[in-house]
Amino acid sequence: MKGLKSVSRLKRFNKSALCVAVLVISSGLPIAAQTASVRVNQVGYVGGGSKRAYLMSSGAEPGATFTVKNSAGASVLTAPIGANLGSWSRSYPNVYGLDFSIVTLSGTYTITVSGPIAASSPNFRIDTAANVYATPLANSLSYYQNERDGPNFITSPLRTAAAHVNDQSAKVYLTPSYNAGSGRFSGDLTPTGATIDASGGWWDAGDYLKFVQTSSYTVALMAIGARDFPNQMGPGSSTANFTAETRFGFDWLQAMWDDGSKTFYYQVGIGSGNSQTVSDHDIWRLPQADDTYNGCTSQYRYICHRPVFINTAGGAGAQISPNLAGRMAAALAVCYHTYRASDPTYANQCLLSAEHIFDLANTAPSGNLLTAIPFSFYPETEWRDDLELGATELYFALQGASILPGSLPHSDSTFYLQKAAHWANAHIIGPNDAADTLNLYDVSGLAHFELYRALSLAGNPAGLETTPAALLADLKKQLDKAVAQGNTDPFGFGFPWNTYDTTSHGGGLSVMAAEYTYLSGMNTYADNANRWLGNILGANAWGTSLIVGDGTTFPHCMQHQVANLAGSLNGSPPVLSGAAVEGPNSSATKGTLSGMIACPTDGVDVFAQFNGKAVYKDFVQSYSTVEPAIDLTASSFLAFSWQI
């Protein structure tokens, strides 16, 4: 997160009943004997791609060699370990690179290290990109299917009933005054008198709130992925066809916008109530309990009948915060592109909504952007990139379209190309250029890629406020900063491990590196793309994949109510496959609620010994390290698709 690294997403799942404490970063725990571990991408390596594993050791390893062995135990490569890449902690002051790119034959392998301190890796595979990443991509789809809210749920071992059916007739309220620290509001909520159908959509994270803030980002990435990778995420895939899931997301975004009155809604549910009401973050339960929770007495009225919050700028025709306007327009523009042939009525409504929302964007915002109640849940500060993305996708929607809906505000695709170029340039010369990489808080890494292609499609017209060269240079600027960051980290990760959203950033960086290769024709960052993705899939200090079900070691104890109450607590099925968690951070949080099942059941923190420059804890109470979310997961399905 840009500018507020110490507090970004601090309230992602800030249970008001939790007594929050932190596990401060340790410089390393004393160890009784010399130890070493080999860390690999547990999902696997692409046969023709670069391959790096890491040896982390409590002592120096002069003269050590490593051996790659196949499933029969035969050696296929023996070589000296690489240079010492730096210190991770006092306990593990030595990290070495193990490069084995010359091993290309498909199969299952292990790495053993012979030297002063011996070590071995878990099994890993080498295969084609399609075989390596097909299952993780299918797992990503499974995560969103399990995260569905409303009557249109998908039965699974984790989901046996519809949830929040009462959202079909949800009352609308004004945004209350609230305490910025606790998120609790003062007094009671003030209804507007309106009622809308706010059912459907995905839960935001381990709680049951729904935000346009995160859903607009997720749907935009998902829709673009299904459009651009039809054989990976679209109808060409037999295991990871996101088409129905993308439509599910479109439907909910449309429900949060009344195109007839031009009224925008941005949130369903409250994280923290007041002294008289219980809110989402005060209780631990399965979602289907909420519609009748505790008899729906006054204390539980906002659990049973969840409030919908209207645009803080006002009702009909009010301006919309530009971050939300840009992403909403982008998603709904791709909706039109997707359905204009198969369902023109639906497509036309998507396009009308997209243009109306874009026209209402407040392009001179002051104070906090509109994200969520409270703002500290999602403290987004950049918005020009969102308008760049929205305008670009509207250009693609109109370009080449032969039959457009009547009363469309703008039917000339050039209008949006000019807008996209304007906002791209505004971002590049703005205060937050290259301050972040692709994630919820900065979509320029995707918007620049999309606009570069739009300009090429238009024949690179003169007179616009940006050029393909400028867009590519800015993409490179972000990637170069990630490479520089990686040079300070023994594992080469392009984002600081001790900052929120590490998993999401790793996936986003891999996407951006692949985009650069596609646009430039140069493999400048191809090795980085492999390594950054590998970092979040096990090639890290803790030796764990940060996406559930991907790899041999992954989070078992997420702060996610359904996973905790209906799933296994040891990694055996059923698990919330595909869920990307926060990842390593500056601290781990703790505190419990009634009904929360203790996890790990034995209370042992098996990852504590590996904490150093950051902390990771697989612990149900630690929302700062193992809470999953829809936006955190969104970069991973694009990263997997690019790899394939």
* DSSP 8-state secondary structure symbol assigned to residue 545: B
Exposure pattern of 606-644 as b/e (b: 16+ CB <10 Å)? ebebbbbbbbbbbbbbbbbbbbbbbbbbbbbbbbbbbbb
Give dist(CA 447, CA 226) in Å, integer. Answer: 16
Q: Is the peptide bond before 600 cis (omega within 30 degrees of 0)?
A: yes
2-42 confidence digits (pLDDT tens):
222 223 333 344 433 333 333 333 334 444 589 999 999 99
Q: Is the pLDDT confidence value at 268 over 90?
A: yes
Percentage above 90 pLDDT, the chain:
93
DSSP secondary structure letters along 231-298: TTTSTT-SS---HHHHHHHHHHHHHTEETTTTEEEEEES-SS--TT---GGG----GGGGGGGGGG-G
Comparing CA positions, the residue from 285, 195, 258, 178 lying closest to residue 594 is 285
Give the chain's mean pLDDT: 94
pLDDT of residue 32: 52
Sign of the Cα pseudo-torsion (54, 60, 62, 67, in order): negative
pLDDT of residue 498: 97
Question: Going by DSSP bridges, is the β-strand pair 170-173/308-310 parallel, antiparallel, or unpaired?
Answer: parallel
Give dist(CA 152, CA 154) in Å, integer. Answer: 7
172-219 confidence digits (pLDDT tens):
999 999 988 788 999 999 999 999 999 999 999 999 999 999 999 999
Give dist(CA 449, CA 441) in Å, integer. Answer: 17
* DSSP 8-state secondary structure symbol assigned to residue 291: G
Task: Calculate mean pLDDT across residues 440-450.
Answer: 98
pLDDT of residue 144: 98
Q: Write phi, then psi, for 588 (nearest 5 degrees).
A: -110, 140
What's the distance, Cα to Cα, between the start and end of the chain in Å?
28
Comparing CA positions, the residue from 382, 259, 260, 395 lying closest to residue 321 is 382
Comparing CA positions, the residue from 128, 127, 85, 81 lying closest to residue 100 is 81
Other beta carbons within 10 Å of 24: 10
pLDDT of residue 24: 36
How many whole angstroms from its chain centre is CA 491? Answer: 21
Task: Calculate mean pLDDT across residues 400-421.
Answer: 94
CB 502 within 8 Å of CB 582: yes
Question: Going by DSSP bridges, is the β-strand pair 124-127/45-46 parallel, antiparallel, or unpaired?
Answer: parallel
Alpha-carbon radius of gyration of the chain:
24
CA distances 593 to 204, 250, 621, Å, are: 19, 34, 9
Q: Which amino acid is at 402?
A: S
How many whole angstroms from its chain centre is CA 35? Answer: 34
How many whole angstroms from its chain centre is CA 31? Answer: 35
Comparing CA positions, the residue from 273, 306, 276, 278 lying closest to residue 291 is 306
What residues does 310 pair with on adjacent strands?
265
Confidence band (pLDDT; 50, 70, 90) for 402?
confident
**Furthest-apart CA pair in the chain: how many Å?**
76
Sign of the Cα pseudo-torsion (576, 573, 571, 557, in order): positive
How many whole angstroms from its chain centre is CA 88? Answer: 26
Helix 344-359 with 322-339: angle, nearest 10 deg: 160
Give dist(CA 593, CA 15) in Å, integer. Answer: 8
446-467 confidence digits (pLDDT tens):
999 999 999 999 999 999 999 9
145-169 confidence digits (pLDDT tens):
999 999 999 999 999 999 999 999 9
pLDDT of residue 595: 96
Q: Is the pLDDT confidence value at 594 over 90?
A: yes
CB 516 within 8 Å of CB 472: yes
The tokens of 30 are what?
């004393």
Give dist(CA 436, CA 424) in Å, integer. Answer: 15
Give dist(CA 278, CA 285) in Å, integer. Answer: 13
Comparing CA positions, the residue from 426, 413, 411, 401 lying closest to residue 454 is 413
Give dist(CA 374, CA 237) in Å, integer. Answer: 40
Q: Which amino acid is at 621?
A: Q
Q: How many CA atoms lie within 13 A of 241 on its CB side?
A: 7
Q: How many CA atoms lie within 13 A of 281 on its CB side?
A: 27
Give dist(CA 42, CA 554) in Å, integer. Answer: 10
Give dist(CA 396, CA 62) in Å, integer. Answer: 57
Q: How many CA atoms lie within 13 A of 311 on its CB side?
A: 23
487-535 confidence digits (pLDDT tens):
999 999 999 999 999 999 999 999 999 999 999 999 999 999 999 999 9
CB 308 within 8 Å of CB 372: no
pLDDT of residue 349: 98
Q: Is the pLDDT confidence value at 223 over 90?
A: yes
DSSP secondary structure letters along 428-439: HTSTTTTSS-SB
Which secondary-structure segment (H or E) carries 95? strand 94-99
Give dist(CA 326, CA 154) in Å, integer. Answer: 30
